[in-house]
Structure 1
């Protein structure tokens, strides 16, 4: 895990910063319906099609939710978004919601720390709120302790090691 942490710091250094781009890369962009790692029908940049607003969000792009979900069930690609539409949903819905959650969870965090918290909150605000000890360390500006709490979490075990490592490095940076 230490090698992953160092590798992640190198990647972040090369990329220049922790940002919303990190979440886009972590999630990937898929223009047609797919099942995420938990079996939830999803589209775009991690947009959960079981959300209460999924019907209206799909309608905004002239898609019927039932048709999009049929693509998941039948492994077809008849009701898909464009890449621009997927990005629009991310930029104007999913990411701002996750960012707001991160701001409520730990107000006033440095940019890189906030980006990592937002990346975690992208799975849902409830996911981020489970990190009670990490929150206490963040409030105390104990970046290493906070990053260690994340690194040893079930969330880090569940997500790709690269995603965990990047978020750990962003928090540890205290920037």
Structure 2
């Protein structure tokens, strides 16, 4: 019985246009629309880092996992939902497992993807790698900052990836995040 269920699940998951497949593919390398990139969790972790125990980010904010701010208003409840003691986590006495890190990241991924889609009307028609770059940018700078790039948004809508990449490269954001920007620019430029 279990083998039949697993085979049926895998068959369902491997059919194209399946949301289960799309979900799992988001964690692995993707090649679509002539460009290629890592899955979104790997992309963000590459820039934000991935740490199982609390650390102070560049602004001195207690952080854990993949850039998860422990001072945000919902941090206590999200950490508690993982079966952890928030105060122990903040004190560095309790760390996260990889599964718990992914759970926190997936919560933020929903927010970042919705924010990117809200700012970039053509989000859903973009190649997966461009979507990942937009999610990565939203994760890093926030929705309001991404929404303040109207020329970039127009270039993406027109599928002018060279122009969009140039726009990114000339931004103050690029000067601040250097390696992250270089990676994201190269992904967009090659789509």
Whether TM exceeds 0.5 here: the answer is yes
Contact 1:32-1:44 within 8 A present in 2 as well: yes
| Structure 2: distance between partners of 1:37 and 1:133 | 30
SS in 1 for 2:44: helix
Say if 2:120 is the partner of 1:103.
no
Q: Which has the higher contact order (CA 8 A, sep 6+)?
A: 1
Say if 2:34 is the partner of 1:17.
no
Summarize the alignment of residues 54-93 of structure 1 with structure 2, pairs less than 5 Å apart: 54-69=75-90, 71=91, 77-90=92-105, 92-93=106-107
Contact 2:165-2:185 within 8 A present in 1 as well: yes
Q: What TM-score do the two structures reach when normalised by structure 2?
A: 0.72
| Structure 1: distance between partners of 2:146 and 2:54 | 25
In angstroms, what is the RMSD of aligned CA positions?
A: 2.2
CA deviations over 1:98-127 (Å, ceiling 9, x no partner): 122222222222211111111111122223
Structure-2 change in CA distance of 1:31 and 1:157 (3 Å): same
Structure-2 change in CA distance of 1:18 and 1:102 (3 Å): farther
SS in 1 for 2:83: coil
Structure-2 change in CA distance of 1:130 and 1:67 (3 Å): farther
Q: What TM-score do the two structures reach when normalised by structure 1?
A: 0.78
Summarize the alignment of residues 147-158 of structure 1 with structure 2, pairs less than 5 Å apart: 147-158=165-176
* Residue 66 (structure 2) aligned to one of 15, 26, 45: 45
**5+ long unaligned stretches in structure 1:** 1-11, 72-76
CA deviations over 1:57-90 (Å, ceiling 9, x no partner): 0101233333333x2xxxxx30221222112211
The residue number in structure 2 matching 1:141 is 159
| Structure 2: distance between partners of 1:80 and 1:17 | 29
| Structure 2: distance between partners of 1:126 and 1:67 | 33
Say if 2:134 is the partner of 1:117.
yes
Contact 1:18-1:170 within 8 A present in 2 as well: no
Q: Decide which moves more: 109-118 or 19-28.
A: 19-28
The residue number in structure 2 matching 1:8 is none
Higher alpha-carbon Rg: 2
